[in-house]
Structure 1
Amino acid sequence: MSEANNPEEFYAKLKSQLQNTSLWPAEYLYKFIVPTNKEKVDTIEKIFDNMGAVITTKHSKNGKYTSVSINVKMKDPEAVIDKYQEVGEKVDGVISL
């Protein structure tokens, strides 16, 4: 997921796609890439704390970036989008896929 020039339009499209492709509540897989920094990874993990999320991290080949994958049961498309927005607001330099 790339937040292009118009985030509102992007999230509206994502919400529509999620509503049309899944029965909610549903498992959802988030993927984020951040510059390798323990504080940034910890911030992402805290956002999903106490949700029963399965979180895995993997460093890039040269160690410059860390990918964070989060598999978690979400109640509806709006909740999915809220988490993307929260991560975007709290973690500088994050790339959402």
Structure 2
Amino acid sequence: MDNSGKTEEFYEKLKVQLYDTALWPTEYLYKFIVLTDGSGVNHIEALFDNLGAVITTTESKNGKYTSVSINVRMKNPEEVIAKYKSIAENVEGVISL
């Protein structure tokens, strides 16, 4: 499992940055890009179901890609990272921004 090219070192650094820059729990903004013609958007939405997330999608100009922005209250950086890993493992071809 490669988590879309992200390493444990990357996630450890992200965790430190998140602890340094926010008071937890806090609102966190996830951004992803997926192919429009796949099921990526639906998979992402399902993984944030019942969390009170505000999800917005925008298709690219040519319609090939869709950006997905999710604003959701997270308890701590570990929860943020767990969600990134879950998306990477369950959504084919996703790009995390």
For Structure 1 versus Structure 2, the TM-score category normalised by the shorter chain is: over 0.9
- Matched AA of 1:73: R
CA contact (8 A) 2:4 2:94 kept: no
Structure 1 runs (4+) greater than 2 angstroms displaced: 3-6
1:42 aligns with 2:42: yes
CA RMSD for the aligned pairs?
Answer: 1.5
- Matched AA of 1:13: K
User: How far, CA to CA, are the matches of 2:92 and 2:4 in structure 1?
Assistant: 16
User: How far, CA to CA, are the matches of 2:87 and 2:33 in structure 1?
Assistant: 11
Alpha-carbon offset, residue 37 of structure 1: 2.9
**Structure 1, unpaired ranges of 5+:** none
- 2:80 maps to 80
1:53 aligns with 2:48: no
**Structure 2, unpaired ranges of 5+:** none
- Matched AA of 2:34: V
- 1:26 maps to 26
Query: 1:11-43: per-residue Cα shift (whole Å, max 9, x none)?
Result: 000000000000000000000000113521000
Identity %: 65
User: How far, CA to CA, are the matches of 1:62 and 1:56 in structure 2?
Assistant: 18
Aligned length: 95
CA contact (8 A) 1:29 1:71 kept: yes
User: How far, CA to CA, are the matches of 1:69 and 1:87 in structure 2?
Assistant: 13
CA contact (8 A) 2:56 2:68 kept: yes
